[in-house]
Structure 1
């Protein structure tokens, strides 16, 4: 009889400098950056006791690295490029801190609100600091051949403004935040799908920066359109008027086109709205913070009438909302 195999987690490396002696911390991190990103000249006034925590998470050829680190200067010189060039495009989502990037004689300041873009084949100088001690960023790297955007356009995008608070930039930021927050829930088998989503989003961010969205291949435009629609649905679940027709109208497409976009998703737009509302309501039923809230109030908060909510909840979870709430409360009391 065969033994069932346990699903493998996403391949990753975790480096916490507190696990090393203070004198070795900065050197270990320099080696990690050189082997997982690209060789850099790194300097820091905190080098004697460098406090950094970084993960390097592999999604196939795509790499995501959340990192918390103190002020540092990074230089990618022509000599280092000749020494080793992974030929990758890089985006950094700045969550906390400030960066000054110098390319030749051109200086750009980065704060939360805009992505920092980088090409490992180009020299640059980065001075990164934070008034609150450590910077918090999420970096993502995609090999140049994997990016579904003509190379000449991707190269032009490097260094241009790329907002992370609206449009496709907001989708990219949301993807990175959610992925890092929920990374323990994913398995190695999820890596190709997640890597493809990340690659399409990066291509769309670059294309938007050079106003060349039409240069994206159809599959990338399809993928980013679906992500935009799904994000819109999640933001508007509480609106009782959220219907497939309303979703289509908000995105200036026909309802028929909307349904065709979802054909390969394994779920209809209406079913996605219902399922998402039920999941939000179920989470509140299980949360002791909402224990005194009437069930019909929770249902209404997520855009559902009480009778509709009760029927749909029983159909999906095999019990009424009140039975579910009682079951969860009993479990906490044990």
Structure 2
């Protein structure tokens, strides 16, 4: 828990935003209450993802090109407003958010975000603290979202409902996790992050598939999501090929490759990326420690040990065995293999 109660009043504003830059994202900020600033943040590490609950007085924040150049974590951030009002502008869109509303934005792109505390301008009951906004921020590397980048980008800075359907399931899970953090093993955290990211992808896919305005719906985008879901179900099949995928969706192989061009990856590259991510999840799970690396690779469609080892090292910066071993060691123990620590937020290299 990060609180400002023990920080001198004149230092609180700068102290807080420096801490936010370290744990969430670096922004330029202004606030009418900078001289009497109050905020608190509770953060839950879910391995692949991080969930934070932030209570804060009103502020106005901008992520500028210079901030991005200096520090770019390459994350999506999903915001759920619990109390007060907030908003975000990104990619020419603007979302005004009330309690239960959800929105997605990208830390690698400029944005303008703001919050207005409930009852702003007056003190909370008892007069000890100003009124604050309250919200959850889920952040995760873009590449771990099981949804195409082009599909997700069409929903940046769009208001999504957290009141019903998939949005309500996601909101309820996030709220319950942060309200009752408890102690979880790394494997539990990994499984939770997998469930959460699948719900995020389902929410975005649902919105793209059912939007009636025409501004977001895109037949090619919907087809691409269906194809990616088909690939996800068939990752363990060694003979999964572009021709089979195209035939299953009644399109030509040429059209299939064209659908993937905006993703900056070939069909085969997407299959390898998703297989590698499945292998990484299994290697991180202590319940699968009895399974040899070769078995895990085989169950997700890799038929060559040397090919799998090279691809995994390229994607995650360490061999599969070293990656698994590192996760079982105490944080301050050096990797005996000499390969060094495995990055927590490894970025996928081009495959």
Q: The TM-score by the shorter chain falls in which range?
A: 0.5 to 0.7
Pair 48,151 (structure 1): closer, same or farther in 2 beyond 3 Å: same
Q: Greater CA radius of gyration, 1 or 2?
A: 1
Partner secondary structure for residue 154 of structure 2: helix
Equivalenced residue count is 209
Structure-1 residue corresponding to 2:6: 19
2:162 partner SS: coil
- The reply on whether 1:214 has 2:201 as its aligned counterpart is no
Separation of aligned partners in 2, 1:160 and 1:216:
23
User: By how many angstroms is 1:203 displaced?
Assistant: 1.3
Of 77, 85, 93, the residue aligned with 1:90 is 77
Structure 1-normalised TM-score? 0.58
Q: Which residue of 1 aligns with 2:201?
A: 203
Match of 1:110 in 2: 97
Q: For the residues of structure 2 that align with 1:209 and 1:161, how far apart are their CA atoms?
A: 10
Q: 1:219 to 1:186 in 2, by over 3 A?
A: farther
SS in 2 for 1:74: strand
CA contact (8 A) 1:69 1:136 kept: yes
Gaps of 5+ in 2: 120-130, 210-221, 234-351
Which structure features the higher share of helix residues? Answer: 1
Q: Hey, what's the Cα distance between the residues in 2 that align with 1:160 and 1:209?
A: 10
Structure 1, gaps ≥5 residues long: 1-13, 222-334
SS of residue in 2 equivalent to 1:184 = coil
What does residue 137 of structure 2 align with?
139
CA separation in 2, counterparts of 1:77 and 1:215? 36
Q: TM-score, normalised by structure 2?
A: 0.56
TM superposition shift of 1:94 = 0.5
Q: Which residue is equivalent to 2:41? A: 54
Aligned counterpart, 1:157: 155
| Maintained 8 Å contact 1:207/1:216 | no
Please name the residue that 1:4 is paired with: none
Kindly state the Cα deviation for residue 121 of structure 1 after the two structures are TM-superposed.
1.4
Q: Distance in 1 between matches of 2:181 and 2:104?
A: 23
Matches within 5 A, 1:37-48: 37-48=24-35
Contact between 1:160 and 1:209, CA under 8 Å: does it hold in 2?
A: no
CA positional deviation for 1:106: 3.9
